[in-house]
Chain A
Amino acid sequence: MKKVSSRNGNPHLSKSPTGIQGLDEITSGGFPKGRTTLICGSAGCGKTLLAIEFLVRGAREFNEPGVFVAFEETNKELTENVISLGFDLEELARQKKIVVDHVHLERSEIEETGEYDLEGLFIRIGHAISTIGAKRVVLDTIESLFSGFSNPLILRAELRRLFRWLKEKGVTTVITGERGDGTLTRQGLEEYVSDCVIILDHRVTEQTSTRRIRVVKYRGSTHGTNEYPFLIDETGFSVIPITSVGLTYEAATGRIPSGVDDLDQMLGGKGYFVGSSILVSGTAGTGKSSLAAHFSESVCRRGEKVLYFSLEESPSQVIRNMGSIGISLAPAMKTGLLMFHAMRPTFCGLEMHLTTMHRMVEAFNPSVVIVDPINSFLTGNNELEAKSMSMRLIDYLKARKITALFTSLTTGGSQLERTDIFISSLIDTWILLRDIELGGERNRGIYILKSRGMAHSNQIREFLLTDHGIKLRDVYVGMEGVLTGSARQAQEAREREDSIKRSLEIDGRKNAILRKRQVMEARIAAIKAEFEAEEAESLKILATDQDKIDNIDKERAEMAKSRKAGFEPSLENKS
């Protein structure tokens, strides 16, 4: 807030901060100090409330007491009306921080008998200002004077004098005015108030209403020129100037697991990036919510907070359905880590949804936000609005480093690679779920269409919802194309059969070789035995022959001895 005013604000023009979230940002610091601001709008758009919050916050937060001059409501009515917003006017009056002065005007009681002025009103306001040292004054709705007095010439002159007088007093004044036909206010008050004009609007499109605020004019200061949505709830007024979010967020490098191990593997082994935005899109019944629930459950298990915006199912229905696939979300809800917020998209306008989401994120401070499904914001002809809203939501979550997972229903017949809400270009990781119809059945396939900044798998995987959550299977890619489900199972069975057959064949061949070897070895043994037999026979013959030679030699030696002649042994015995 401070930063904005130092950059945009005119240093010469001091401002009176409203303390209202967002409004000080679009007015670069508040209403012009010591000058008059006109708040106009049609009935029931929150003029009085804005004015009174300006006073109450001034009194409470900025030590600037205020005077509320009520032309329409009595003190009692006013006090009762704003107590629900936590503004205790009686208490503030007791502390001398706020004076409420009800101006009672009844035409029938008044008889005009000549020249008059509104000095009585001046004295009242002046007296109220001086009793509490007021710095702020609200006149709600000063146009009522025109119904109380018949002479508009006097009134106009007096109003001009009143605003000048208030300026001289140095009080910051807010006046409210009902929207007129073709003019900002019925009595043309904008003619007297030239410093700051704010228009409140309450518009109904597609049967949902949105409140908007616009700074039409702010003399001497820059201001946001757009129409900004605003919200009135139990804490008062809040304006969300979300369109100003820039592309300046830092990119995180941390990773956060998806809750499905196989999917983490596909995402470069570690899961999503922290603070990235993930889109899970697919046709009906492809398991988008299951994937979201898996993610929430795993985040909660690690002790981090998840905010789950369910736009189509009630929390208990989500919990029951996810229980059927083995994801139990109830414990995380009990420990307060998981917060469900179920709302119908048609319940209020998109801006209101966005503001609600902002508020809840601010209050709960989750590390993961899930919107299931984001395209239900698309009703009728609001494509542009829905896109801008989604964009702002994504920007906002990114700036806060919150990982966001959106699911998106792709309608049948349309191209899968498009989302109705046209946010695909803003998404970091886009997971596409599709059903693959084959052989009379429908199976789920998952693949990662894109995932910025990581090496992700390019495979289509089959994805099964089991009792224990999501399981990813490799699909069969073969001659017949991609096979899933029972076709894949049949194919797998065939493959198993084939491999058994092959292994049997191998075994048979091995046995045959073994047998051959055995035959061969048997033959070798037989030949060997034959040879040995022959050898033994030969040796035996040889031995007999030697004996014969020895005997001959012996006989010859004996003969020589007997004849006393020299002995020459036979050749065989010499060697």
Chain B
Amino acid sequence: MKSTALNEFMESQGKSGAESYVLRLYVTGTTPQSLKAIANIKRICDQHLKGRYDLEVIDLYERPALASGEQIIAAPTLIRKLPLPLRRIIGDMSNTDRVLVGLDLRPILK
């Protein structure tokens, strides 16, 4: 029997393109970057993950204790909790290609 983490990974690979995404976006108040990031990720999710994503936007100023718990350094930070492996996508999400790479939704096109 293989380890559970590996099993989960294998399963998620098996039904690639169908699994649901759990995303957390940590922002810092209403800075331009924060607002841009929120708009960008919503757009990307609606385009690529319609109906199978769970996005939560969290303001770090309101819940500062989460910053150390979630190992957040840069802001804004999007954490892909599921599917595994955990990924961090930082920045204002203006580079859509890189966001998609971070979300494992599209291979890097050359």
Known contacts A114-B93, A126-B64; A120/B98 CB under 8 A: no
Chain B residues whose CB sits within 8 angstroms of the CB of A105 once the complex forms: 73
Chain B residues whose CB sits within 8 angstroms of the CB of A119 once the complex forms: 28, 31, 60, 74-75
Q: Does A148 contact B (CB under 8 A)?
A: yes
B88 touches A110 (CB 8 A): yes
B64 to chain A: closest residue by CB: A127
Binary contact readout A102-118 vs B (1 if CB under 8 angstroms, 0 otherwise): 01110001111111111
Chain B residues whose CB sits within 8 angstroms of the CB of A103 once the complex forms: 71, 73
Closest-CB distance, B30 to chain A (whole angstroms):
12
Q: Does B33 contact A (CB under 8 A)?
A: yes
Distance A377 CA – B90 CA, assembled complex (angstroms): 59
Interface size on B, residues (CB 8 A): 35
Q: Does A73 contact B (CB under 8 A)?
A: no
Q: Does B83 contact A (CB under 8 A)?
A: no
Q: Does A500 contact B (CB under 8 A)?
A: no
Interface centre among A111, A113, A116, A121 (most CB of B within 10 A): A113
Return the 3 tightest CB-CB contacts between A and B, nearest first.
A111-B102, A114-B91, A127-B64
Interface residues of B in 56-110 (CB under 8 A from A): 60-61, 64-65, 67-68, 71-77, 85-95, 98-99, 101-102
Q: Does A571 contact B (CB under 8 A)?
A: no
Known contacts A109-B86, A111-B102; A117/B60 CB under 8 A: no
B68 touches A128 (CB 8 A): yes
Interface size on A, residues (CB 8 A): 25
A118 touches B88 (CB 8 A): no
Q: Does A145 contact B (CB under 8 A)?
A: yes
A/B interface sample: 23 pairs, CB < 8 A: A103-B71, A103-B73, A109-B85, A111-B90, A112-B90, A112-B98, A115-B33, A115-B91, A115-B94, A116-B33, A116-B75, A117-B74, A119-B28, A120-B73, A120-B77, A121-B73, A121-B74, A123-B28, A123-B72, A124-B64, A124-B72, A124-B73, A149-B74
Chain B residues whose CB sits within 8 angstroms of the CB of A553 once the complex forms: none
Distance A128 CA – B65 CA, assembled complex (angstroms): 8
Closest-CB distance, B83 to chain A (whole angstroms):
14
B72 touches A120 (CB 8 A): yes
A117 touches B33 (CB 8 A): yes
A109 to chain B: closest residue by CB: B88
Distance A101 CA – B75 CA, assembled complex (angstroms): 18
B89 to chain A: closest residue by CB: A111
| A interface secondary structure, majority | mixed
Taking A111-B102, A112-B90, A113-B98 as given, write out 8 further A-B residue pairs in contact, using a Cβ cutoff of 8 Å, ordered by the A residue number.
A113-B92, A116-B33, A117-B28, A118-B75, A127-B67, A128-B68, A145-B73, A149-B74
Chain B residues whose CB sits within 8 angstroms of the CB of A118 once the complex forms: 73-75
Known contacts A105-B73, A118-B73, A148-B73; A111/B65 CB under 8 A: no
Distance A127 CA – B61 CA, assembled complex (angstroms): 9
A120 touches B88 (CB 8 A): no
Distance A109 CA – B88 CA, assembled complex (angstroms): 6
A106 to chain B: closest residue by CB: B88
B89 touches A113 (CB 8 A): yes
A113 touches B102 (CB 8 A): yes
Known contacts A109-B87, A123-B28, A123-B61; A104/B71 CB under 8 A: yes
Closest-CB distance, A306 to chain B (whole angstroms):
56
Known contacts A145-B73, A148-B73; A116/B90 CB under 8 A: yes
Closest-CB distance, A186 to chain B (whole angstroms):
19
Distance A114 CA – B38 CA, assembled complex (angstroms): 13
Closest-CB distance, A274 to chain B (whole angstroms):
61
Interface centre among A117, A118, A123, A148 (most CB of B within 10 A): A123
Closest-CB distance, A157 to chain B (whole angstroms):
13
Distance A120 CA – B24 CA, assembled complex (angstroms): 14
Known contacts A111-B88, A112-B90, A113-B92; A120/B99 CB under 8 A: no
Chain B residues whose CB sits within 8 angstroms of the CB of A113 once the complex forms: 89-95, 98-99, 102
Chain B residues whose CB sits within 8 angstroms of the CB of A114 once the complex forms: 36-37, 40, 91-95, 98
B34 to chain A: closest residue by CB: A119
Chain A residues whose CB sits within 8 angstroms of the CB of B64 once the complex forms: 123-124, 126-127
Closest-CB distance, B5 to chain A (whole angstroms):
16
Chain A residues whose CB sits within 8 angstroms of the CB of B31 once the complex forms: 119
Closest-CB distance, A160 to chain B (whole angstroms):
16
A124 touches B88 (CB 8 A): no
Chain A residues whose CB sits within 8 angstroms of the CB of B26 once the complex forms: 120
Chain A residues whose CB sits within 8 angstroms of the CB of B86 once the complex forms: 109
B70 to chain A: closest residue by CB: A120
A120 touches B94 (CB 8 A): no
Distance A109 CA – B87 CA, assembled complex (angstroms): 5
A120 touches B95 (CB 8 A): no
Binary contact readout B39-64 vs A (1 if CB under 8 angstroms, 0 otherwise): 01000000000000000000011001
